[in-house]
Amino acid sequence: MIDLRPQWSRTITPTQWRVLFAAQAGWMLDAMDVLLYTFALTTIQKEFQFDSATAGLLASVTLLASAIGGILFGVVADYIGRTKALIATILIYSFCSAGTATAQGLLQLILWRSLLGLGMGGEWSSGSVLVSETWPAEHRGKAIGIMQSGWALGYILAALVSAIVLPRFGWRALFLAGVLPALLTIWIRRRVPEPQVWTVAQTSSLQLSQFFKEKLTGIFSPILLRRTLIATLLTSAVLFAYWGLFTWLPGFLSKPPAQGGAGMSIVKTSGWIIPMQIGAFFGYLSFGFISDRLGRKPTFIFYLVTAAILVPIYGQMARSENVLMILGPFIGFFGSGYFSLFGAMLAELFPTQVRGTGQGFAYNAGRAFSALAPFIIGGLADVYGIGSALALTSAFFMAGVVMVLQLPETRGKMLE
């Protein structure tokens, strides 16, 4: 039988493929659970009579909690293992998504979305370092790109589930579907081992609190301090841009033109979001392949600059539904694809002993700052219209360009 696989993929072992599938599926289902809220947002606003700023605040609470979860589980992944941490985070976000369906007011929504955020942030921290330590250096970018593409698939899945469930059964039934990802953990526990590089490096007998302090001290040591701070500023800028843009895109498409939106129905909004996320899927994948060949930094800069140009055109100038449909995949491609940098490059910036901690802190401290984005964009939308508010995110894309120039190129680095 002729082997039609690409030459590079023939060197990847079955275990490495299983690790990648586990991380990608966990991230995909994480995205679905988190993004169900963006599709239910308008319905929840009407039921509880929230303004846009309050609705944005709920998304911000989830992001802030995800930052805490990401930092916490970065350390936990260094302590108990990457696979065990991944299983724990999937269980958290699954059951807390279902818990959202029971909310009777703002405080209960805040509680469940906060707990869900802990799992959301922790899943990325544990899953990305698991892939980075399992796959070979020359294909690490590809693997992280494939893993990151799970977010686009999850966004599409959220759009499809919302279009089917929300009009017929309401938003509570929509969130109940979020418990299903918990079933994935059964397979992960049986089929996904810990990375050998982590197993060999385990020498600590400290209690978790002492271990936590030791790891955080390590990433702020003189040798790693500058790298930690710049990586955190980088993630802060681009995560603000991403969440400011994509939290409110369904709202932009569904709000009436008088409020700066496109005036589409919920079902039609899902139809316009899906091509955008197909573009994002290919953006994630292509970033990994391109960055393995040309380098992390130049690929990242190209994506960010293009996104900064496209977003104001989409939010302020495009009013035809056909134009929005055409531009959507490009917004998804360039406005999302650069995320494939972080799983690879952040792992390559930190040594094994603090890799989970460093990667988790840099990414999730940035996510904590980005928690302001849905609230700020929502508040600006109330005053200036949602299309104009979205254009602000371009400035943060360009700030990310400035930050990445301060970091070393890490393509092809071997992980000790």
Which amino acid, residue 245? L
Q: How far apart, in Å, are the Cα atoms of 414 and each of 197, 223, 226, 229?
A: 11, 19, 21, 23
Q: How far apart (Å, rounded) are the C-alpha atoms in residues 165 and 334?
A: 30
From 183, 177, 143, select the one nearest 35 (Cα to Cα): 177
Report the Cα–Cα distance between both ends of the chain, in Å, rounded: 38
Give me the sign of the Cα torsion angle 75, 79, 84, 88: negative
Indicate whether 9 belongs to any domain: no
Burial of 226 (0-12, 13-18, 19+ CB in 10 A): exposed
Question: What's residue 57's pLDDT?
Answer: 82
Indicate whether 1 belongs to any domain: no
The whole domain housing 72 covers 15-190+209-404
Q: How far apart, in Å, are the Cα atoms of 261 and each of 26, 181, 252, 264?
A: 33, 33, 5, 8
Q: How far apart, in Å, are the Cα atoms of 208 and each of 72, 204, 365?
A: 11, 10, 20
Question: What's residue 262's pLDDT?
Answer: 65
Q: Which residues of the chain have pLDDT under 70?
A: 1-5, 203-205, 256, 259-263, 266-267, 317-319, 386-387, 416
What total of structural domains would you count in the chain?
1
Any idea what the CATH number is for the domain that residue 98 is in? 1.20.1250.20
**What is the per-residue pLDDT across 228-242, written as a single tens digit (0 to 9) for each?**
999 999 999 999 999
pTM: 0.81
Indicate whether 313 belongs to any domain: yes
Indicate whether 237 belongs to any domain: yes
Q: How far apart (Å, rounded) are the C-alpha atoms in residues 376 and 80?
A: 37
Indicate whether 98 belongs to any domain: yes
Question: What's residue 203's pLDDT?
Answer: 61
Indicate whether 204 belongs to any domain: no
Q: What is the 3-state secondary structure (H, E, C) of 257-284?
A: HHHCCCCCCHHHHHHHHHHHHHHHHHHH
Specify the 3-state DSSP secondary structure of 81: coil
Indicate whether 198 belongs to any domain: no
Indicate whether 5 belongs to any domain: no
